A and B are shown apart, each in its own frame.
Chain A
Amino acid sequence: MGDWLKMAPAALAFLLPGCYPDEPEFVEEYDVVYTNYAPEFNFDNAYTYALPDGVLLIDDDRGPNGPPEFIDDQFGDAILDNIRQNLNAEGWTEVDEADGPDLIVLASAFDTEFLYFYDPGYWCWYYPCWGWWYPGYLPGYVTGYRTGTVLIQVTDPNGVLNEEVPVVWTGAINGLLQGSDANIIGRIDRNLDQAFTQPPFD
């Protein structure tokens, strides 16, 4: 009897699935924009930044030690142009990485489950093979399926500690990989703009 009573709520919960009427109709309504940042970092300064030429593809089938792969240029260019526009609008200035920028902005993309953290070794071709740390905050995570994610990390090469690069801002946009290329690029653009209206850039 005791066991039956213990199992009853679980069994009933299994028999009572929820009803979810009027769910989203349009693919845009499934998009999510997530941002997080280091609270002690002053984002109001006019920083110089460097932005690698491509958006790195993070792929489960490819280890971090292989040569870097990038997403298709039509999507990559749209992402990098948008980042540039938004950072320049903040009063930041893009410089070459050889000129010692204050910050380095890393853009990557996933087409499977979204992870806020992946092996930093994917950037060994660009950065020294250091790890990452998140000063004063921990980025959350979201998981999904059949989704695409663009992850942007603003890193501070001058704040390296114990061979770990501080990631002072994390921005992620996530949505279903459905619709025409133009539609996907339009959604990426809108969502990146949204990311740069969220704290601390608001």
Chain B
Amino acid sequence: MRRFLITASLLALFTTLSFGQTKFALTYSVGFPSGETSDYLESTSWRGVNIDYQYFIREGFALGFSAGWQVFNDDLGFVTETTGTETLSGFRYNYLNSFPILVTGSFYLNPSGDLNPYAGLGIGLVYSIFDQDTGLFRDERTGWPFSLRPEIGLDYEVGYNVGIRASFRYNYVASGDELPSLPYYAFNIGLVWSN
């Protein structure tokens, strides 16, 4: 609850700031499992999307909001698992649906140029749905673990206030709510526009 209050307060703060330059980005995301995520899901995720909003409080520095959806899945084949005296076997499919919802801060190195590299940090929560299916039966765990996300990227302006964005992010996702830590890397590419 406390975490949601913090998130909501920060969002409310952004909406009360006077308007300045803003940027929106819509990007396609390719995810790569990292850390403990690799224990459950080894395959690259080709299903991901992000939407980012940034508000410049001074030239070269923006606060913002970022939301996304990344889907990982893996076919582990026939699996036999024994816990104590219990044994369960069947074909195992693992799924992770990760919905990061973060507040962000970003530094732009060349705000007036066509080629504008940036570095940023996001902090917030990730709504995670982690499923381990054995045959017909699904062990589903959901939660809102804490997340920290460093990012580097590049905006390339191709037209008036419109550009292409490419970025690389590391999504650290803490364990919690019965979920293991489920971090991943992501490469993103898409459109960015500003006003």
Contacts and interface: CB of A to CB of B under 8 A. Distances in A.
A37 B85 CA distance: 6
- Give the interface residue-count category, chain A: 35 or more
Contact of A18 (B80, B91, B129, B134): B129
Determine which residue in B8, B93, B97, B135 has the highest number of CB atoms from chain A within 10 A of its CB, and name it: B135
Contact of A32 (B5, B8, B86, B136): B136
A13 B142 contact: yes
Contact of B127 (A13, A24, A139, A147): A13
Interface stretch (A4-12, A48-56, A77-85): A4-12
- Give the interface residue-count category, chain B: 20 to 34
B158 to A, nearest CB: 31
A33 B136 contact: no
Contacts of B73: 20-22
Contacts of A136: 85
A132 interface: no
A30 B135 CA distance: 4
A198 B131 contact: no
B5 A142 contact: no
Contacts of A140: 86
Given A20-B73, A22-B93, A198-B82, A36 B135 contact: no
A44 interface: no
Contacts of A139: 86
Interface string A116-144: 00000000000000000000110110101
Contact of B89 (A19, A29, A198): A198
Interface in A143-174: 144, 147, 174
Interface in B37-54: 47
A36 B85 CA distance: 5
A174 B97 contact: no
A134 B5 CA distance: 48
Contacts of A37: 85
B17 interface: no
Determine which residue in B80, B84, B90, B127 has the highest number of CB atoms from chain A within 10 A of its CB, and name it: B90
A6 B2 CA distance: 10
A29 B92 CA distance: 8
A66 interface: no
A23 interface: yes
Nearest to B71: A19
Given A21-B47, A22-B75, A23-B93, A5 B4 contact: yes
Contact of B85 (A12, A13, A29, A137): A137
Q: What 4 pairs across the A-B complex have the smallest Cβ distances? A: A32-B135, A18-B97, A198-B87, A29-B91
Interface of A: 5-6, 8-9, 12-13, 16, 18-24, 28-39, 136-137, 139-140, 142, 144, 147, 174-176, 194, 198-200
30 contacts: A5-B8, A6-B1, A8-B4, A9-B127, A13-B127, A16-B69, A16-B127, A18-B95, A18-B129, A18-B131, A20-B95, A20-B131, A21-B71, A23-B133, A24-B91, A29-B135, A30-B136, A32-B134, A32-B136, A33-B88, A34-B86, A34-B87, A34-B88, A35-B86, A137-B86, A142-B137, A144-B137, A174-B135, A194-B89, A198-B87
Given A6-B1, A199-B82, 14 more contacts: A16-B97, A18-B97, A18-B129, A18-B131, A31-B90, A33-B88, A34-B88, A136-B85, A137-B86, A144-B137, A147-B136, A174-B135, A176-B136, A194-B80
